[in-house]
Amino acid sequence: MKTGIKVLGAAGAVAGLWVGASVLSGQRVQAAMDAQVQSWQGNANSLLRLTNVSYSKRLTGATRTLNVELGCPTGDQKPLRITWRDEIEHGPFPGWRGFGAARIRSEWVLDADTQAKLNELKKGAEPFELVTYVGWNGSTDTQIRMPALAYQQQDMQFQFDGLTGRLQLDRAGHGRYEAVLPGYRVQDGKGADIVMKDVKFAGETLGPTWWVTTGKGNGSLKEMSFTGPNPADGSTRKWFALRDLQFSQTGSVENGLYTAQAEAHGKGEIAGLPLDALSVQYSLHRFRVAAYLDLITGALQDGCAGNPDPKARLATVEKSFAGLLSANPEFALDKLSVTVQGQTAHLHYRVGAQGVTDEEAKGGINPKLFQKLNVELGAEIPVPLIQTVLEKTGQALPPEALEAQINGAVERGFLERKGDRLSLAVQFKGGAATLNGKPLPIPGLTPPAMPHTDPH
């Protein structure tokens, strides 16, 4: 008898602890989700509007329902209305996956007709899944799985092979992401064929600005191509293709300024011209995150406002714009290299601002602002590659005719030549431009030359 009482007492204690832990986790999760909703709620002019939020609690779980409007109502056109539902299982062992605060399963709530049409598109029985596991320490683990879809109407065909992804974040915003897109294909029945195959990417991100891809990442692409009709003879041909692409990127935020570098390597094809090797490197420097976020937030929150006070809206945009330019930002295509039949061409450019004050940036695009812009562009290509491209595109020239055109461009200063290599260098700095090191007048910016006068 005493043993039975002890067992019942122990069971009661465990049940009490379970209920207590469930209530505690429920309170913490609801507080976090309420804060999330408050951050989403904008004004009546927002492009995304929460029209209703309900939170129904149970002992071991809860249901949150969001009614959302997307877009601006114009005339008879109503905004897109969507219902989003979160089914929440409280801890301490949500979903029996492990110890944690909650398991949140999210879904669109569709009407019967829409759901039936979606079921017809699905190639298998796999459902759409979006599940988030919340840890007691505030970490989250979100996993998404989209089913394969297939659609056909008359000659139009669309095939989507599904998508899986995962985003893990700790309380500070540090985390890891990964995604796999097996591929998709679109055909119009008239020769157009768009193909994407085997896309993968993964990486680590740093908080709290994980959404600007801080940290390191990498990915790959097996193929992306476009085949379409050839107007010349009505046949189909592959106009563009990228194959075996590998890419990587790094990013960081220091003192509120974002810096990133990325590169990609692969091969491909353009209009029947095989690209034996393709290499791209680009970078972004001193990009003020807060100013960028202000621009995006302002566009979302006031996207349906029309023009009740154009001057006030312009002042807000100019303030964010000034915040970007006054940090001396720069974007650069550091290197683009293409190799065809052993011949390699190079291209690079950079665009940035230097020394722009807040007052100068507030004036919008103006001549004073141009004085602070820096632009550089350079290109180099071997003459044999030009001839190869002309031949592949059906525009071949006799060697002597090509030489005559090149020599004319060199004589006029548009190109420089060293042996079989042609180069071009353009620079704009301090309001003045040069072409291959020589002044290049720009109408409206370059002051007219003063007439020469003889002092005698």
187: left (phi over 0), alpha (psi -120 to 50) or beta: beta
Please state the rounded mean pLDDT for residues 451-455.
Answer: 52
Q: Is pLDDT above 70 for 124?
A: no
Q: What is the pLDDT of residue 10?
A: 35
Total domain count for the chain?
Answer: 3
In a domain, 287, yes or no: no
Contact 107, 118 (CB under 8 A): no
Q: What is the pLDDT of residue 377?
A: 98
- Render pLDDT for 256-268 as a digit per residue (tens, 0 to 9): 899 999 999 999 9
Among 213, 95, 246, 222, residue whose Cα is nearest residue 161: 222
Same domain, 240 and 342: no
| Percent of the chain with pLDDT strictly greater than 90 | 39
Banded model confidence at residue 343, pLDDT cuts 50, 70, 90: very high
Quick one: how far is CA 198 from the chain centroid?
A: 18
Please state the rounded mean pLDDT for residues 79-86.
Answer: 84
Among 323, 346, 320, 333, residue whose Cα is nearest residue 284: 333
Please state the rounded mean pLDDT for residues 428-437.
Answer: 92
Among 154, 231, 223, 155, residue whose Cα is nearest residue 189: 155
Among 303, 297, 300, 304, residue whose Cα is nearest residue 319: 297
Banded model confidence at residue 13, pLDDT cuts 50, 70, 90: very low
Helix axes 383-392, 399-411, angle to 10 degrees: 130
Banded model confidence at residue 138, pLDDT cuts 50, 70, 90: confident
Same domain, 216 and 364: no
Q: At 271, phi and psi to the nearest 5?
A: 50, 45
Q: Is pLDDT above 50 for 337?
A: yes
Same domain, 315 and 373: yes
Please tell me the least confidently modeled range out of 70-74, 217-221, 301-305, 444-448. Answer: 444-448
Please tell me the least confidently modeled range out of 29-33, 117-121, 253-257. Answer: 29-33
Give the start-end residues of each E strand in 255-401. Answer: 257-270, 273-288, 330-340, 343-353, 373-382
* Contacts with 12 (C-beta within 8 Å, 6 or more apart), sequence order: none
Same domain, 51 and 139: yes
Same domain, 441 and 302: yes
Q: What is the pLDDT of residue 109?
A: 80
Residue 375 class from Cβ within 10 Å (0-12 exposed, 13-18 middle, 19+ buried)?
A: middle
Query: The pTM is what?
Result: 0.77
Q: What is the pLDDT of residue 311?
A: 67
In a domain, 11, yes or no: no
Q: SS3 breakdown of the chain: % helix, strand, coil, rounded to 5?
A: 25, 45, 30
Please tell me which of 3-7, 115-119, 201-205, 312-316 the model is most confident about, judged by mean pLDDT.
201-205
Among 438, 427, 337, 333, residue whose Cα is nearest residue 382: 337
Average pLDDT, the chain: 81
Last residue of a domain, one of 87, 114, 147: 147
Same domain, 223 and 107: no
Q: What is the pLDDT of residue 308?
A: 59
Last residue of a domain, one of 91, 119, 147: 147
CA angle 162, 166, 170 (to 5 degrees): 165
Q: What is the pLDDT of residue 152?
A: 84
Q: Is pLDDT above 70 for 321?
A: yes
C-alpha span between 420 and 370 (Å, rounded): 36
Q: What is the DSSP letter of 212?
A: G
Among 60, 64, 68, residue whose Cα is nearest residue 23: 60
Among 390, 375, 382, 387, residue whose Cα is nearest residue 428: 375
Q: What is the pLDDT of residue 310?
A: 64
In a domain, 204, yes or no: yes
Burial 332-353 (b: 16+ CB within 10 A, else e): beeebbbbbeebebebbbbebb
Structure-token match 């969507």, residue found: 82
Same domain, 352 and 417: yes
Q: What is the pLDDT of residue 18?
A: 34
Q: Is pLDDT above 90 for 314?
A: no
Q: Which two tokens stand for residue 54?
A: 């309900």
Q: What is the pLDDT of residue 49?
A: 80
- Render pLDDT for 375-384 as a digit per residue (tens, 0 to 9): 999 999 999 9
Q: What is the DSSP letter of 138?
A: S
Please state the rounded mean pLDDT for residues 388-417.
Answer: 92
Same domain, 65 and 131: yes
Same domain, 304 and 444: yes
- Better-predicted residue by pLDDT, 153 or 263: 263
Q: Is pLDDT above 60 for 86?
A: yes
Banded model confidence at residue 54, pLDDT cuts 50, 70, 90: confident
> Residue 160 CB: number of other CB atoms within 10 A?
21
Last residue of a domain, one of 102, 117, 147: 147
Q: What is the DSSP letter of 264?
A: E
Structural domain containing residue 29? 24-147
Among 389, 349, 355, residue whose Cα is nearest residue 371: 355
Q: At 123, phi and psi to the nearest 5?
A: -80, -20
Contact 329, 354 (CB under 8 A): no
In a domain, 283, yes or no: no
In a domain, 18, yes or no: no
Same domain, 332 and 346: yes
In a domain, 419, yes or no: yes
- Render pLDDT for 368-377 as a digit per residue (tens, 0 to 9): 778 888 999 9
Same domain, 243 and 316: no
Please state the rounded mean pLDDT for residues 150-168.
Answer: 90
In a domain, 123, yes or no: yes
Same domain, 196 and 95: no
Q: Is pLDDT above 50 for 5?
A: no
| Percent of the chain with pLDDT strictly greater than 70 | 78
Q: Is pLDDT above 70 for 33?
A: no
Q: Is pLDDT above 90 for 186?
A: yes
Q: What is the pLDDT of residue 423?
A: 97
Q: What is the pLDDT of residue 297?
A: 73
In a domain, 269, yes or no: no
